[in-house]
Amino acid sequence: MDVVSPELNSLLPDEIMDTEAIEDIPHSQPDGSMVQSEAGSDTSVPMETDTPMASENLSLLSDATLAEHTQVLTSPTDSTLTISTGSQLPLSISSTSSPLLTLKPSMATSTATTKTTDSVTGTTVSTGGLQKLTAPFTISAANHQIILNKVASSQATEAAKSAGTQPQVIKQEGQKLLVTAIGKSGQPILLQLPHTGGKPGISQTSGDTKSPAPQFKVVTIGGRPELKPVVGSTGNQVTTLQAQQLKTVQIAKKTPTSSAAPIKFIITKTVNSKGLNPQTSVSPVIAGRVLTQNSPVMPPRTVTLSEPHNTSIQSIPGKKIAISPLKTPSKVTVVSVASPTSNASQKSVALPVNVALGQQILAVQQSTSASPVKVATSQTTTQNIKPVQPVAVGGVSGSQFKTIIPLATQPNVQQIQVPGSRFHYVRLVGTTTASSTGQPSGPSTSSIQTAKPMVVSTGAVRMSVPIVPAQTMKQVVPKPLTSATVVTTTQTQQRLIMPATPLPQIQPNFTNLPPGTVLAPAPGGGNVGYAVVPAQYVTQLQQSPFVTLASSSGFPTSTGIQTQARSPLNGYCDCFANGEFCNNCNCNNCFNNLEHETERLKAIKTCLDRNPEAFKPKIGKGKEGESDRRHSKGCNCKRSGCLKNYCECYEAKIMCSSICKCIGCKNFEESPERKTLMHLADAAEVRVQQQTAAKTKLSSQISDLLMRTTPVISSGGGRLPYTFVTKEVLEATCECLLEQAKKAEQTHQPQAEAERMILEEFGHCLMRIISSAGKAKADCASINC
DNA sequence: GAGTTTGAAACT
DNA sequence: CAGTTTCAAACTC
C-alpha cells in the first residue's frame, strides 16, 4: 500500500485527509504494495497520517484472505471509543477471563454508570441501568439498532449474505455482552451468553487457529467487503477498556488464518459487504490511541492494526490515504473487547492502517494469566499520549464527545447523539458479516489470531469520545506511520474526522433518516469514513439537499452540485472554515452537513488545494521570543485601526504583529488608543459584574425573606406569615425604593451610592415588614388564632 | 431591524 | 502577486 509521502503529508493540514486519492484506489486490487507477510511477522507499512507513531507498536497487517473490514471498538469503561475507518483493518481482541463484553458508547440519555475493575483474574465490568438481555437477541438495524444474531456457522452468514441481509451474530454463550448506545432508548443492552468456558493460558500461536473455536462473539460495525476481520486472541472474558492506560497498536501485514480460533470476542466494523469471503472485516482505524489494560499476572494483549493486502487501499502506491480531522484533533478512542476465554494469551486487533492525525485509538488489552503477552507499547509514545479521558455516558462527564459516523451510505445506520455535548459524535455503522480468519501477528506479540466468521452484526453503535476543547490542543508534528511504530499524539483538540470513503462512493441519501439514524457503509464500497459532527447536526439530516460547490470535479453531477450559488460550503462560512458542520446558523441551502458529505469533502479538498492552511487555526503560537499567541497570517486592516472587531487580531484579543499588513494600526502594546479601549472595556466589564452581583444578592435576599415568612403559625415556629407580603406591601416597598432612587438622582449621587441607598431602603422596608409580621404573629398567638 | 462599514477569502 | 469581487460579521443608526 502506498501512502502519501511524509513530505506531501506534511503539506496537508493536520485535520484534512485527502479522500480523493482514495477514490482512485482499486479496492479489489489483489496484491497491493503490501506483501502478505507471514504470520507473526510484521511488515512496516507506510502510512499517511499526521499522527505520530513514534514508538507504539503499530503494525499493519495484511491479510490476503480477509475480505472485509471490521472495526471493533468497545469501551467497557466510561470512556468512549471511536474508530474511524478508511482502510482495511481487521480487528480482533481477545480477553482473558472476564465474561463481560461491554460496548459502551456514550449515550445522551444514558444514566447507566459503568464501573470497571481491573483485576488479576480478569476485568469485570459492572454497569448500572443497563438493559439485560439474554442472547441471542437481535436489534434490528431498521430500528437503528445493533443487530446481534446468533449464528450457528459461517454458512449461515453466507446464506444471510446471499439473502441480501447482513448477518450479525453473537454466538458465544456464557458470556455477557453489554452494548450501549443502541437504539433510541439510550439504554445500554446487556447481552448475557451462557459461558462455555475457555482455558486461559493457551498459547496464541498457530495452534489456536487449528483448534476449534468454541466461542466467538463478534460484533461488527459497518461492513466492508474488502477487508476481513482478524480475530486475535482467545479468552472467555470480555476485555474492558481502561481509559487511563495507553496500549499498543500494531499495524502489520496479516496473513490469512484459519477460522478455527479459540473463543474470541470480535467487535468489528465492516466497511462493506461485497467481499466474497464471509470473514468479518475491520474497518480501518483512522487514528487512535491504544489503551491496554494489563493485570499484573496476565500479560497484556496487544491490539493490532492489520490491513489485508488484497484490498488494502494503502497498498496502492501513489495514493493518499489521509484521514484527518478538521481543525482540532479530537480523541478517537478505540475500545477493544477481549474475549472471555483465556486460551489465547494475547489479544490482537487488526485494523486498517489509516490513522488520522491526532486521532487516537483506544484499545484495551487484557492480559491473560496463563500466557504472557508482550505489550508493544513503547514508553516513548506513552509519555506523549495523554491518558484517555473516561468516557462519559449520557454526558455525565463534562468532557465533550464526538460521534464518528461512517460516511458510507447504508440504510441501517443509526446516528447517535450524545446529549449535552455540542461536539461531535461518532457513528459507527456495522454492516455485513463475513466469516474470516486472520492471524494478525504483531512483531511485539506472538499471539495468533484466528477469527472464525462467526458473527457479523451491524448496526449503529454510538461511541462517545471525550474531546478536549480546542484551546487546550497541542499539536504534534505529524509523522508518517510505519509499521511497528507507535501512534502517539498529544492532540486533544476537537477534530473533525474526515470520511475515509472515496468520494465517488459517497452517495448520501439521508433525507428520510430520522435523527439518530446512522449512516451505514455502502455495500461494495471501499473505505468507510467517519465524520465527526456536532450534536446538533442531527437536525440537519432533515434539511433539504441543495448542493453548492464551487468546484465539483470528480463528483457525480447527479448530486446536484453546482446547481446553487455559494452556500455554506465555501470559505465564507465560519462553520465550514472552522472545520465544523453548520448548526443553527442561518445559512441557506446549507451543504455543510453530513447529508452532503460528498460535496463537503470536495469543498474541503478544494479549499485545501487552494490554501493548505485553510483549516488551521488562525491564532497560533508566535515565534520564539514573541507573544504566545499571534495571528498566523496577520491582519490586513485599513480603516479600523485594528481596534475594532473587524480586525481578527483585535477580535482575538491579541496585538498585531510584524506579519500584519494593516494600515494605521493602533493595536500595539504602547498604543494609547488601545489602552483606552482596554480600560473602557475593563471598566464596563467590572460594572456588569457588579450589577450582576447586586442583582444576585437582592434576589437572594428576597428569596430568603419569602422562605422565612412562610406561614408556620400553627407550628408556633419562628417563621412569619408570608401573607403579610401582600400586594399593597410590595407596592409600598417599591414606592419607597423608587423614592430613594429619585432622591439619589436628584442629589446626583453616583451609581454605586444610589444603589447603596436603594438597598438600604429596601432593608428598612424588610425590617418593617418583618416587624409587622412578628407583631401579627404575637397577636395571633395571644388570641389562639 | 435595516443599512453601512469592514476586512477576510475567493476570484481573476 | 496584486487588484477585484464576494461575502458575512461588525457596526451604526
Give the model's pLDDT for residue A723.
65
Provide the CA A471 to C1' C6 distance, Å, integer: 31
Which of these ranges, A81-85, A610-614, A774-778, has the smallest mean pLDDT? Answer: A81-85
Residue A114's closest CA among A87, A88, A150, A75? A75
A646 touches strand B (CB under 7 A): yes
Chain C bases closer than 7 angstroms to a protein Cβ: 6-11
Q: What's A164's DSSP letter?
A: T
Q: What percent of chain A has pLDDT over 90?
A: 2
A604 touches strand B (CB under 7 A): no
Please, what's the b/e burial string for A27-38 (b: 16 or more CB within 10 A of its CB; e: otherwise)? Answer: bebeebbbebbe
Q: Are A52 and A479 in contact (CB under 8 A)?
A: yes
Give the model's pLDDT for residue A782.
59
Provide the CA A474 to C1' C12 distance, Å, integer: 40
Query: Cα A344 from chain centroid?
Result: 30
Provide the CA A656 to C1' B1 distance, Å, integer: 33
Give the model's pLDDT for residue A423.
34
Give the model's pLDDT for residue A749.
87
Distance CA A349, CA A338 (A): 10
Task: Give the model's confidence band at A687: pLDDT under 50 very low, under 70 low, under 90 confident, else very high.
Answer: confident
Spatial neighbors of A126 by CB under 8 A, at least 6 apart, are A114, A115, A116, A117
Provide the CA A549 to C1' C12 distance, Å, integer: 34
A578 touches strand B (CB under 7 A): no
Give the model's pLDDT for residue A711.
52
A642 touches strand B (CB under 7 A): yes
Q: Is the pLDDT of residue A313 over 50?
A: no
Q: Are A433 and A220 in contact (CB under 8 A)?
A: yes
Minimum-distance residue to B6 (CA–C1'): A646
More confident call, A188 vs A722: A722
A611 touches strand B (CB under 7 A): yes
At A335-387, the pLDDT tens digits run: 333 333 334 333 333 333 333 333 333 333 333 333 333 333 333 333 343 33
Q: Is the pLDDT of residue A690 over 60?
A: yes
Residue A519's closest CA among A502, A534, A545, A541? A541
Provide the CA A640 to C1' B4 distance, Å, integer: 14
A608 touches strand B (CB under 7 A): no
Residue A655's closest CA among A638, A643, A663? A643
In angstroms, the Cα distances linking A442 to A57, A77, A154, A377 are 8, 25, 26, 12
A775 touches strand B (CB under 7 A): no
Q: Is the pLDDT of residue A410 over 70?
A: no
Distance CA A612, CA A15 (A): 10
The nucleotide whose C1' lies nearest the CA of A588 is C8
Which protein residues have their Cβ less than 7 angstroms from some atom of strand C?
Answer: A 565-566, 568, 570, 572-574, 585, 587, 644-646, 651
Q: Which residues in 530-559 of chain A line strand B, with CB less than 7 A from it?
A: 550
Mean pLDDT across chain A, nearest whole number? Answer: 48
Q: Is the pLDDT of residue A585 over 60?
A: yes
Q: Is the pLDDT of residue A655 over 80?
A: yes
A571 touches strand B (CB under 7 A): yes
**Residues facing residue A427 across a β-bridge:** A462
A638 touches strand B (CB under 7 A): yes
Distance CA A276, CA A274 (A): 6
At A476-513, the pLDDT tens digits run: 333 333 333 333 333 333 334 343 333 333 333 333 33
Q: Best-predicted range by mean pLDDT among A200-214, A312-326, A492-506, A608-622?
A: A608-622
Distance CA A65, CA A45 (A): 18
A620 touches strand B (CB under 7 A): no
Angle at A24 between CA A19 and CA A26, to 5 degrees: 120
Q: Are A441 and A254 in contact (CB under 8 A)?
A: yes
Spatial neighbors of A751 by CB under 8 A, at least 6 apart, are none
Give the model's pLDDT for residue A611.
79
In which residue are the cell numbers 399593597 written?
A: A728
Residue A93's closest CA among A263, A261, A333, A266? A266
**Residues facing residue A307 across a β-bridge:** A253
Q: Are A74 and A336 in contact (CB under 8 A)?
A: yes
Give the model's pLDDT for residue A647.
92
Task: Give the model's confidence band at A769: pLDDT under 50 very low, under 70 low, under 90 confident, else very high.
Answer: confident
Q: What's A54's DSSP letter?
A: S
Provide the CA A781 to C1' C9 distance, Å, integer: 67
Residue A352's closest CA among A87, A123, A604, A102? A87
The nucleotide whose C1' lies nearest the CA of A606 is B10
Residue A283's closest CA among A295, A273, A294, A298? A273
The type of residue at A583 is N
A565 touches strand B (CB under 7 A): no
Report how far apart the first and last C-alpha atoms of chain A are (Å, whole number).
93
Q: Is the pLDDT of residue A535 over 60?
A: no
Provide the CA A650 to C1' B6 distance, Å, integer: 13
Q: Are A76 and A244 in contact (CB under 8 A)?
A: no
Helix (H) or strand (E) holding A604: helix A597-610
The nucleotide whose C1' lies nearest the CA of A638 is B7
Query: Cα A277 from chain centroid?
Result: 30
Q: How many residues does chain A have?
A: 785
Task: Give the model's confidence band at A17: pLDDT under 50 very low, under 70 low, under 90 confident, else very high.
Answer: very low
Helix (H) or strand (E) holding A266: strand A264-268
Give the model's pLDDT for residue A553.
33
Provide the CA A621 to C1' C12 distance, Å, integer: 34
In which residue are the cell numbers 438481555 written?
A: A133
At A209-255, the pLDDT tens digits run: 333 333 333 333 333 333 333 333 333 443 333 333 333 333 333 33
Query: Cα A496 from chain centroid?
Result: 9
A653 touches strand B (CB under 7 A): no
Q: Is the pLDDT of residue A610 over 70?
A: yes
Residue A66's closest CA among A37, A104, A94, A45? A37
Give the model's pLDDT for residue A306.
36
Distance CA A673, CA A349 (A): 61
Provide the CA A673 to C1' B3 distance, Å, integer: 28
Average pLDDT over residues A44-50: 37
Q: Is the pLDDT of residue A442 over 60?
A: no
At A92-107, the pLDDT tens digits run: 333 333 333 333 333 3
The nucleotide whose C1' lies nearest the CA of A573 is C8
Helix (H, G, I), strand (E, B) or coil at A663: coil
Chain B bases closer than 7 angstroms to a protein Cβ: 5-11
More confident call, A453 vs A664: A664
Provide the CA A528 to C1' C2 distance, Å, integer: 43
The nucleotide whose C1' lies nearest the CA of A662 is B7
Quickly count: other Cβ atoms within 10 Å of residue A496's Cβ.
30
Provide the CA A617 to C1' B9 distance, Å, integer: 15
Dump the DSSP string for A324-343. Answer: -EESS----B------B--S
Distance CA A335, CA A180 (A): 13
Provide the CA A648 to C1' C10 distance, Å, integer: 11
Provide the CA A190 to C1' B9 distance, Å, integer: 51
Give the model's pLDDT for residue A204.
39
Helix (H) or strand (E) holding A629: strand A629-631
Give the model's pLDDT for residue A570.
63
Report the relative pairing of strands A264-268 and A216-224 from DSSP bridges. Answer: parallel
Average pLDDT over residues A403-414: 37
A146 touches strand B (CB under 7 A): no
The nucleotide whose C1' lies nearest the CA of A647 is B7
Provide the CA A636 to C1' C3 distance, Å, integer: 15
Give the model's pLDDT for residue A637.
92
Q: Is the pLDDT of residue A751 over 60?
A: yes
The type of residue at A199 is K
Provide the CA A652 to C1' C10 distance, Å, integer: 14
Dump the DSSP string for A680-727. Answer: HHHHHHHHHHHHHHHHHHHHHHHHHHHHHTS--GGGT-SPPPGGGS-H
Spatial neighbors of A55 by CB under 8 A, at least 6 apart, are A378, A379, A380, A381, A485, A486, A488
More confident call, A742 vs A5: A742
Give the model's pLDDT for residue A709.
58
Average pLDDT over residues A155-184: 39
Average pLDDT over residues A636-645: 91
Provide the CA A692 to C1' B12 distance, Å, integer: 53
List own/partner pairs for A157-164 with CB under 8 A and 24 or more apart.
Answer: A157/A278, A157/A433, A157/A434, A157/A435, A157/A453, A157/A454, A157/A455, A157/A456, A158/A278, A158/A435, A160/A433, A161/A273, A161/A278, A161/A432, A161/A433, A161/A434
Provide the CA A37 to C1' B5 distance, Å, integer: 65
